[in-house]
Every structure is written in C-alpha cells, then in structure tokens.
C-alpha cells in the first residue's frame, strides 16, 4: 500500500493528460458503464476494450497492446503477471456482490427452488474456467450443494454481460451476475442475493502495463473514480 501511495504522489507531479494520449484499457465486461463514465471524467480520450477477464489476460499475454488492465479476479492478474511485466499493480479498485436474476417481474426464490423455476430452461453464467463471475457462481453452487444437480441445466457465456443479456431478452429464466450488472439492466430483477461467504471475495485488481498507462491507473484510485463505481453498484475499497 505504501508503494501505491508513493506512486500516486509521484504521478501528481506528471502531466497526466499528455501521458494518457492514445492509451488502451482492457477491462472485465462487468465494468462497462462505470468505466466508461470514469474515462469520461478523466478528460482525455481512451480506447476501452471489454471482455471476460480470462480472455483479456490471454490477449495481453499474447501481445495485444494494452496500457491498463482491470480484471475481476486476482488469480487472472497473477496469471498475467507471471507472463508479462507490470509497471504498477493494485490489489483492488472495487468489490462486488453476486446475485441470481430473473426477468423483470419475477418473484423471489430460494436456492432449492432454482431447478423448479428453470423447468426446461437454462441457468446462464460466465464460463467457470475463464470468467470470474462464472468461477464465483460455481463456488456458490458447490457450497449450496446444487452444482451436480444443476450442471445439466447450466449454459456458460463468454462474459457476465452476455449472461445478463440472455435473461433480459427472455432467452433464459435465470442467470448469475454481479449486483452492478443487475442494477444496469431494467429488464431483470434480483431474485436471490448470494451470500458473500459462499465464494471467494470479489475484487477488481488493476495494473498499468506501460508508462503511458500510469496516469489513468492513478486516476482509478481517486475519490472521483470511487464515487462513480459506487454509484454503479460496486463496493468501495480502502487503499
């Protein structure tokens, strides 16, 4: 934390808008909307690319040009750090909560009622081995003793926003997404709040990949950015 504080102080002495010109940000799909607003508040145009955290990490490791990366699980950041040098890294810029959603107007339910609610439909969630929301969802279902029972009814998506869209469009009766995702979509309703103790803590680690990315990396750790994340349903963190 002291190293991060020192970096942020040093960056206040640099011409940050100049550093930010033309920088590219790779980010977890669940940050769409919130990160768009943060980028707008930064005041310098950025190129934003969203996707599943595993996809983002693999693309950068394969040479995709990114100046900043924000993922939805520390394991993927560790994986990336083992393969690519990081200029700066923080443990988390925000947290989140996992929720079970249905279409707008759906009634609340308990985990034991999921199979009945699904019928012949699918429970949609991110890919369990590549999308953090899917990893957290599998942990929850295993903790609840429902994984093996529901596995034949699970449909996995490339990112959490794809799962959100399927429920919003009526293509799936239930989905597991983040609370911030549910808040961003008026066509879905939270039908069950998943206990945080049933899965690993949800965090969003950030890293600067290049010198040019250090300015926006610093801005992600400001009160202004934290306020935007909180307004979009993310959980603020203390640095």
The enclosing domain of 222 has a CATH number of: 3.40.190.10
Domain-embedded: residue 56: yes
**CA 10, CA 117: separation in Å to the nearest integer?**
54
Domain-embedded: residue 175: yes
Q: Do 141 and 115 form a contact (C-beta atoms < 8 A)?
A: no
Do 73 and 6 have their domain in common?
A: yes
Do 106 and 26 have their domain in common?
A: no
Q: Do 173 and 114 form a contact (C-beta atoms < 8 A)?
A: no
Q: What is the full per-residue pLDDT of the chain (239 aa) written as tens digits?
A: 545 554 554 444 344 444 445 899 999 999 999 999 999 999 899 999 999 999 999 999 999 999 999 999 999 999 999 999 999 999 999 999 999 999 999 999 999 999 999 999 999 999 999 999 999 999 999 999 999 999 999 999 999 999 999 999 999 999 999 999 999 999 999 999 999 999 999 999 999 999 999 999 999 999 999 999 999 999 998 76
Do 59 and 13 have their domain in common?
A: yes
Domain-embedded: residue 168: yes
At 22 the pLDDT is: 81
Do 126 and 90 have their domain in common?
A: no
Do 184 and 220 have their domain in common?
A: no
Do 163 and 83 have their domain in common?
A: no
Domain-embedded: residue 236: no
At 19 the pLDDT is: 45
At 210 the pLDDT is: 97
Do 155 and 224 have their domain in common?
A: no
**CA 66, CA 27: separation in Å to the nearest integer?**
10
At 136 the pLDDT is: 98
Domain-embedded: residue 237: no
Number of domains making up the chain:
2
Do 47 and 76 have their domain in common?
A: yes
At 15 the pLDDT is: 45
Do 165 and 186 have their domain in common?
A: yes
Give the global pTM. Answer: 0.89
Do 19 and 108 have their domain in common?
A: no
Do 91 and 208 have their domain in common?
A: yes
Domain-embedded: residue 173: yes
Domain-embedded: residue 156: yes
Please provide the DSSP assignment of the chain as one string. -HHHHHHHHHHTTS-HHHHHTT-EEEEEGGGTTHHHHHHHHH-S--EEEEE-HHHHHHHHHTT---SEEE-S-HHHHHHHHTTS--SEEES-S-B--EEEEEETTPPP--GGGHHHHHTTS-EEEE-TTT-HHHHHHHHHHHHTT-HHHHGGGEEEESSHHHHHHHHHTTS-SEEEEEHHHHHH-TTEEEEEEPPGGGSPPPB--EEE-SGGGHHHHHHTTSHHHHHHHHHTTPBP---
**Furthest C-alpha separation in the chain:** 59
At 4 the pLDDT is: 54
Q: How far is CA 210 from CA 4, 25, 213, 237, in A?
A: 16, 11, 5, 24
For 114, the domain range is 98-198
Domain-embedded: residue 239: no
- Tell me how far the alpha carbon of residue 40 is from its chain's centroid: 19
What is the crossing angle of helices 132-143 and 160-168, to 10°? 70
Q: Do 87 and 230 form a contact (C-beta atoms < 8 A)?
A: no
Do 185 and 214 have their domain in common?
A: no
At 87 the pLDDT is: 96
- Tell me how far the alpha carbon of residue 33 is from its chain's centroid: 11
């Amino acid at each position: 934390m002291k190293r991060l504080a020192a970096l942020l102080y040093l960056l206040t002495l640099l011409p940050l808008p100049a550093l930010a010109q033309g920088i590219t940000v790779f980010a977890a799909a669940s940050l769409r909307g919130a990160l768009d607003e943060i980028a707008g508040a930064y005041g310098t145009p950025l190129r934003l690319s969203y996707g599943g955290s595993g996809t983002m990490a693999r693309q950068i490791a394969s040479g995709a040009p990114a100046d900043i990366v924000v993922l939805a699980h520390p394991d993927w950041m560790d994986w990336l750090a083992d393969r690519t040098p990081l200029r700066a890294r923080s443990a988390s810029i925000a947290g989140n909560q996992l929720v079970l959603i249905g279409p707008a107007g759906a009634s609340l339910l308990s985990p034991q009622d999921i199979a009945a609610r699904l019928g012949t439909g699918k429970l949609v969630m991110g890919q369990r081995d590549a999308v953090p929301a899917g990893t957290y969802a599998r942990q929850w279902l295993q903790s609840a003793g429902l994984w093996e029972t529901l596995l034949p009814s699970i449909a996995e998506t490339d990112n959490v926003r794809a799962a959100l869209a399927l429920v919003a469009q009526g293509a799936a009766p239930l989905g597991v997404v983040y609370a911030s995702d549910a808040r961003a979509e008026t066509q879905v309703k939270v039908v069950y709040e998943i206990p945080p103790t049933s899965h690993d803590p949800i965090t969003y680690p950030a890293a600067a990949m290049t010198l040019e990315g250090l300015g926006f990396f610093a801005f992600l750790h400001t009160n202004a950015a934290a306020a935007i994340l909180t307004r979009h349903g993310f959980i603020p963190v203390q640095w």
